[in-house]
């Protein structure tokens, strides 16, 4: 399983690895649909103008050009052209465009999940691919969106992650209003600048962040110390509220943020005890978040980075004066699956869907064997028919190599027997009624 | 449903349309897995060298470039560079590369299905998009692959198509050996040239094809007439064999092809009567087919083009002297779904997965409502909780707009009732045991 991708940054799975990925994707889909999220897909391409509307990340974008244009000339990059097509780098920006374009056909609040590949031209490294799958859920309102969705999304995502074959996770939650109000309360006006500095805390440490705050943002040593004191608060319950108050800062926006975060943490702690933490150092790089922010680490695998992030955005999508505020989270599926496979957190019990191989006694029995197979498939049993009447030993070996648990034999008199090739047990069976044990019906994803 | 894509050639579906697409994709996946095909995905990008290894279609390929390279210069197209990355235009070429790269990890004959988007920079028109989904099945052997797989794949694909909400289809099957042997038998040596001309039969007619054969390939009028006579044979059973023989041509390769096609048609006619036809005019454009070729039209929608095509290829993938012959078919999912939606062959019974909305009597009951929802979800019932304690009429309207069939009420004493908002019937219910009728559990895809 330690194969290298033939093209760096573009992982591909073997069939038995893909079964693990399918299990992850199916589990997410089932959880999202149980919570009333419907599926949407958007095209893989956006215009460069749309992609770069927010944030400065144009180094990471793959632009498209027809290999040969209609006149037969080689295409040239056209970075200046906002209508230039490029591959999307996340699912939030395309979704915002989709909502604005289709607003007349959607019912708001609109809840959707979206599971697709995205592309970033970054330098590949562990946990960072150039092509990877994201699984997003968002709820978007027309004009307003009740805060309660910020609470609900934390619960949905905790339930979804809990259903995956991964180690314990920590969903770290903060609120931008809390942080921004606090910074204003201590007299720091460039709140975005402070957030950007605080965002570097884990990378460069508290001392260096204090240096940035004083040198670049004109903070006094005391203001820097206050900002860092806020960022150091981390509680697994709502006791962060008292800790913030103890810092002695008053501000209306901060109070709003405190109240919101308290609601999210109170509900999430009840629903997913031990998996949720109020972490006031979480800033999230992207500028469009305006309230709750989420990120998630696997316990013991913190260096992998966040496996699930998101937040509340009040102004990502708008159509004239009409605003579509939303809240959403995005799971890094490829990052998770890569780690599940490399650490063998889970694997598939076999490499094929097939539960039964129908063996051939002679070449003429192929049509009859197809009828046996059709009977079994009608009850949901994945079945293959041998392509050649090789010696039975060779046909059994075909099944054995793939982990197919059962081989079916029909003799010249039309009598049927089925053999469990693991135990060697062979019994008479009726193609119209026989069922394998439930655990043999489909490949099982077995956790370590 | 007659919305235009905001970017020509890149269709996007509304949530209720996406449910139809998901039904198609889920049905194909289930059928393929029941027949023992496992899932594989390949990366979206290949090198230009890999993509253009076969055939001359470089006008259709989308090349990639980083919008800004590492030095900050605008990227330029590099058509001459075989390592240039580009988006795949089908799933067969990437699969052939995948097989060669991973041969040491796969069990042969290797059967896989692959459902992914592909991209072609073509002029968009009805049934021809720039981004579209294909669903492929292939079986690939190591060195040799028994001919019987050509028969089996016809059966699998007929079963898969029969399970979709589409009109009757015709799976037209031919065999290149038959055609090539026949052409040689009548003294035409450039068999590929003859096939290319015959491929134009439906577009330009018999007279024009005869003209091409005589003017460009040096055929006599009689040879052209013979080639056209072969191409005019079309039978829904194995009687094509006698019709070919009646043309009086003898050739060993032709006999081999006749025998193979007879086997495919005999089995397919039994398994999918009325849906299969031996059609000796089918040539398929791509050069890599070497035996059986398939294509499929929807009856009454022939102008849409083929919705499912493929064939046997003996030399698409090789590793040194090791050859990996295969046979496969590809379903044009987007082409089918576009037609299903535009002709309303099928639609979804509601626009969301949700079966139950749990209403709120007051704001404080949200947490209790979450518990009701969790009970229902534990039995697979998709459930949403209202985000606000609006008047019940407004909460019911939320459900009604989305087609959510049931609204759940809990009164101050904890007594539960569930209302079918279509009939207005409201009954006492227990969140731990209540089930909706099976047809209300999930959105149903209803055929017209």
Distance CA A157, CA B329 (A): 38
Q: Give the pLDDT confidence score for residue B325 in this predicted structure.
A: 96
Distance CA A4, CA A11 (A): 8
**Reduced to 3 states, what is the DSSP secondary structure of residue B237?**
coil
Q: Give the pLDDT confidence score for residue B59 in this predicted structure.
A: 59
Q: Which residue has the tokens 């580009």?
A: B86
Residues of B in Cβ contact (< 8 Å) with A98: 12
pLDDT digits (tens, 9 = 90+) for A144-186: 999 999 999 999 999 999 999 999 999 999 999 999 999 999 9
Residues of B in Cβ contact (< 8 Å) with A101: 6
Residues 252-281 of A with CB under 8 A from B: 267, 270-271
Residue B385 to residue A152, Cβ atoms within 8 A = yes
In which element (H, E) is residue A223 found?
helix A221-231
pLDDT digits (tens, 9 = 90+) for A109-132: 999 999 999 999 888 887 789 999
Q: Which residue of B has its CA nearest to A133?
A: B43
Distance CA A175, CA A262 (A): 10
Residues of A in Cβ contact (< 8 Å) with B131: 43-45
* Chain B contact present for A14, CB below 8 A: yes
Tell me the two tokens of residue A332: 């890094």
Q: Give the pLDDT confidence score for residue A1 in this predicted structure.
A: 44
Instruction: Identify from B63, B91, B267 which residue to disrupt to test chain A contact, counting A C-beta atoms within 10 A and taking the largest count.
Output: B63
Annotated binding-site residues of B read 90-92, 120, 134, 138, 284, 288-289
* Chain A contact present for B345, CB below 8 A: no
Residues of B in Cβ contact (< 8 Å) with A91: none
Residue B79 to residue A74, Cβ atoms within 8 A = yes
**Reduced to 3 states, what is the DSSP secondary structure of residue A212?**
helix
DSSP label at residue B85: E
* Chain B contact present for A111, CB below 8 A: yes
* Chain B contact present for A82, CB below 8 A: no
Q: Give the pLDDT confidence score for residue B1 in this predicted structure.
A: 44
Q: For chain B, how many residues are written?
A: 448
Residues in CB range of A238: below 8 A, 6 or more apart: A262, A265, A266, A269, A278
Q: Give the pLDDT confidence score for residue A50 in this predicted structure.
A: 86
Distance CA B388, CA B372 (A): 16
Looking at every residue in chain A, the average pLDDT score rounds to 92
Distance CA A137, CA A125 (A): 26
Lowest-confidence pick of A358-362, A391-395, B47-51, B441-445: B47-51
Residues of A in Cβ contact (< 8 Å) with B66: 59-63, 121
Tell me the two tokens of residue B397: 């309207």
Residues of A in Cβ contact (< 8 Å) with B61: 66-67
Q: How far is B245 from chain A (nearest CA, A)?
A: 26
Domains and CATH numbers, chain B: 15-40+106-343 (3.30.930.10), 356-447 (3.40.50.800)
Read off the pLDDT of each residue in A251-273 and give the average, rounded to a whole number. Answer: 94
* Chain B contact present for A9, CB below 8 A: no
Instruction: Identify from A13, A15, A60 which residue to disrupt to test chain B contact, counting B C-beta atoms within 10 A and taking the largest count.
Output: A15
Residue A67 to residue B62, Cβ atoms within 8 A = yes
- Nearest-CA neighbor of B196 among B176, B182, B223, B181? B176
The answer on pLDDT for A329 being more than 80 is yes
Residues of A in Cβ contact (< 8 Å) with B111: 352, 384
Residues in CB range of A270: below 8 A, 6 or more apart: B367
Q: Give the pLDDT confidence score for residue A72 in this predicted structure.
A: 43
E strand intervals along A205-360: 234-235, 276-279, 292-298, 308-319, 322-332, 346-348, 356-358
Annotation-wise, does A288 bind a ligand? yes
* Chain B contact present for A352, CB below 8 A: yes
Q: Give the pLDDT confidence score for residue B320 in this predicted structure.
A: 87
Residue A7 to residue B43, Cβ atoms within 8 A = yes
Residue B66 to residue A66, Cβ atoms within 8 A = no
Q: Which residue of A has its CA nearest to B404?
A: A36
In which element (H, E) is residue B298 found?
strand B292-298
Distance CA A261, CA A264 (A): 5
Q: Give the pLDDT confidence score for residue A54 in this predicted structure.
A: 65
Q: Closest partner residue to B12 among A42, A74, A270, by Cβ?
A: A42
The answer on pLDDT for A346 being more than 80 is yes
Residues of A in Cβ contact (< 8 Å) with B353: 33-34, 36-38
Residues of A in Cβ contact (< 8 Å) with B40: 13, 15, 18
Instruction: Identify from B73, B130, B353 which residue to disrupt to test chain A contact, counting A C-beta atoms within 10 A and taking the largest count.
Output: B353
Residue A349 contacts residue A446 (beta carbons within 8 Å): yes
Residue B276 contacts residue B190 (beta carbons within 8 Å): no
Q: How far is A12 from chain B (nearest CA, A)?
A: 6
Q: How far is B185 from chain A (nearest CA, A)?
A: 31
Q: Give the pLDDT confidence score for residue B173 in this predicted structure.
A: 97
Annotation-wise, does A98 bind a ligand? no
Residue B95 contacts residue B114 (beta carbons within 8 Å): yes
ipTM of this complex: 0.95
Q: pLDDT 10s per residue in chain B (448 long)?
A: 446 788 999 999 999 999 999 999 999 999 999 999 999 999 999 999 888 876 555 558 999 988 765 544 444 445 567 789 999 999 999 999 999 999 999 999 999 999 999 999 888 887 789 999 999 999 999 999 999 999 999 999 999 999 999 999 999 999 999 999 999 999 999 998 999 999 899 889 999 999 999 999 999 999 999 999 999 999 999 999 999 999 999 999 999 999 999 999 999 888 888 999 999 999 876 668 999 999 999 999 999 999 999 999 988 888 888 999 999 999 999 999 999 999 999 999 999 999 999 999 999 999 999 999 999 999 999 999 999 999 999 999 999 999 999 999 999 888 999 999 999 999 999 999 999 999 999 999 999 8
The number of C-beta contacts closer than 8 angstroms across A and B is: 231
């Amino acid at each position: 399983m330690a194969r290298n991708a033939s093209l760096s940054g573009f992982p591909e799975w073997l069939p038995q690895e893909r079964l693990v990925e399918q299990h992850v994707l199916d589990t997410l889909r089932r959880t999202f649909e149980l919570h009333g999220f419907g599926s949407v897909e958007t095209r893989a391409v956006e215009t460069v103008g749309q992609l770069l509307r927010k944030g400065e990340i144009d180094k990471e974008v793959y632009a498209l050009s027809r290999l040969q244009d209609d006149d037969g000339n080689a295409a040239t990059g056209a970075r200046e052209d906002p209508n230039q097509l490029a591959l999307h780098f996340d699912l939030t920006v395309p979704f915002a465009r989709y909502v604005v374009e289709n607003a007349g056909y959607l019912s708001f609040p609109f809840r959707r999940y979206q599971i697709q590949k995205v592309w970033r031209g970054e330098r590949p490294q562990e946990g960072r691919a150039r092509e990877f799958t994201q699984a997003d859920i968002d709820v978007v309102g027309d004009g307003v969106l009740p805060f309660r969705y910020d609470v609900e999304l934390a619960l949905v995502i905790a339930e979804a992650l809990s259903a995956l074959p991964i180690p314990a996770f920590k969903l770290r939650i903060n609120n931008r209003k809390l942080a921004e109000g606090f910074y204003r309360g201590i007299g720091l006006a460039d709140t975005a600048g402070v957030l950007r500095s605080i965002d570097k805390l884990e990378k460069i440490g508290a001392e260096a962040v204090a240096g940035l705050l004083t040198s670049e943002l004109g903070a006094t040593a005391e203001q820097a110390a206050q900002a860092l004191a806020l960022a150091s608060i981390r509680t697994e319950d709502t006791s962060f509220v008292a800790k913030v108050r103890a810092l002695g800062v008053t501000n209306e926006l901060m109070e709003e943020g405190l109240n919101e975060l308290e609601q999210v943490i109170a509900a999430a702690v009840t629903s997913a005890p031990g998996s949720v933490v109020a972490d006031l150092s979480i800033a999230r790089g992207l500028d469009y978040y305006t309230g709750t922010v989420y990120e998630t680490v696997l316990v013991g695998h913190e260096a992998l980075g966040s496996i699930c992030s998101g937040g509340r955005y009040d102004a990502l999508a708008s159509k004239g004066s009409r605003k579509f505020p939303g809240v959403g989270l995005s799971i890094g599926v490829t990052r998770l699956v890569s780690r599940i496979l490399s650490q063998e957190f889970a694997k598939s019990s076999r490499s094929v869907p097939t539960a039964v191989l129908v063996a051939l006694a002679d070449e003429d029995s192929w049509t009859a064997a197809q009828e046996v197979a059709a009977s079994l498939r009608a009850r949901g049993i994945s079945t293959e028919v041998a392509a050649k009447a090789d010696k039975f030993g060779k046909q059994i070996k075909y099944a054995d190599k793939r982990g197919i648990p059962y081989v079916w034999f029909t003799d010249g008199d039309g009598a049927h027997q089925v053999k469990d090739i693991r135990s060697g047990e062979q019994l008479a069976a009726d193609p119209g009624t026989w069922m394998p044990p439930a655990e043999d019906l489909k490949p099982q994803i077995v956790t370590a």
